[in-house]
Amino acid sequence: MGTYRLYEWLWGGLDWLYPPVCAGCGRSGARWCAECQQQVTPVPDPICDICGLPVAYLGLCASCRLRLPPFAALRSWAVFEGPVRSALHRLKYRRNVALGDALARPMADFCRRLDWPVEVVVPVPLGKRRLQERGYNQVGLIAMPLAALNRWRYAPRALSRVRETKSQVGLSAVERRENMQGAFRADPRPVSGRTVLLMDDVATTGATLSACVEALLSAGAKAVFALTLARALPRHGLQNV
């Protein structure tokens, strides 16, 4: 926990110098206020045992019965709407980098309840062009404190994009899979023989996660569990994510 205490102390000092504003509602005083935390919508039960999508029955959804994803399981902390959607937008596009720590805390509790045998945490990487434009990987800003809180190894360079892909926004599920096919490569050194937690910000069709998982398994990972902060449910439509 020592690593995280130092991390927490750093952001606490910055909050004292520059009073934070809630990323969910815009009120001053906290990066993620108590009221917005209470408005977080969990992904409703029951969910598919593998992909975590809400279903009307226990077991596997129709899609997973037809074609099993490569990950052991996929879970999301919240539905992609309301304050969560606003917070992710600020983290991703408005450089609210301190927000990563605030979001990592409830996600750490969520992971403990999942009780997965995680050994190493790997964030989904950005492409070189996107990383240069943004200056940071928003997923890493959540994944790093999450790993520290749960005392897991953090391996931010275990995955890399070997080719640039077009934006997934507006693509169908089939187009998303084709767009991501062969887009990632994994370094065997931090993942071989280990159980990996792969992390992304939002899950839609799972195409990006599946492509990353396939690369990690090819590099020798024992098993890969996928985790996202939010889940875009079908009612949102892929055009809006």
Give the model's pLDDT for residue 238.
40
* The two structure tokens encoding residue 181: 């096919």
pLDDT band at 134 (very low <50, low <70, confident <90, very high): confident
H or E, element range at 89: helix 82-93
pLDDT band at 170 (very low <50, low <70, confident <90, very high): low
For the segment 199-217, the average pLDDT, to the nearest whole number, is: 94
* AA letter at 54: P
Half-sphere exposure of 7 (CA within 13 A, CB side): 21
At 76-107, the pLDDT tens digits run: 999 999 999 999 998 888 777 778 888 999 99
* The two structure tokens encoding residue 58: 């226990």
Geometric angle at alpha carbon 229, from 228 and 231, rounded to 5°: 75
For residues 32 and 175, give the distance between their C-alpha atoms in angstroms, rounded to a whole number: 35
- The most confident of 18-27, 117-126, 200-209, by mean pLDDT: 117-126
**CA 65, 113, 118, 157: dihedral to nearest 10 degrees?**
90
Give the model's pLDDT for residue 7.
55
Rounded to the nearest angstrom, the gap between the alpha carbon of residue 7 and the centroid of all alpha carbons in its chain is: 20
* The two structure tokens encoding residue 240: 């809006």
Give the model's pLDDT for residue 214.
95
Please state which of the ranges 59-63, 103-107, 130-134 shows the lowest mean pLDDT: 130-134
Give the model's pLDDT for residue 17.
60
Q: Which domains are assigned to the chain?
A: 42-240 (3.40.50.2020)
Strand 223-231 vs strand 153-154: parallel, antiparallel, or unpaired?
Answer: unpaired
pLDDT at 8 over 70: no
For the segment 160-185, the average pLDDT, to the nearest whole number, is: 70
pLDDT at 16 over 60: no
- pTM as predicted: 0.86
For residues 91 and 103, give the distance between their C-alpha atoms in angstroms, rounded to a whole number: 10
Write 8-16 long-range contacts (CB < 8 A, 24+). 8/101, 11/98, 11/101, 14/98, 15/98
pLDDT at 240 over 50: no
Give the model's pLDDT for residue 21.
83
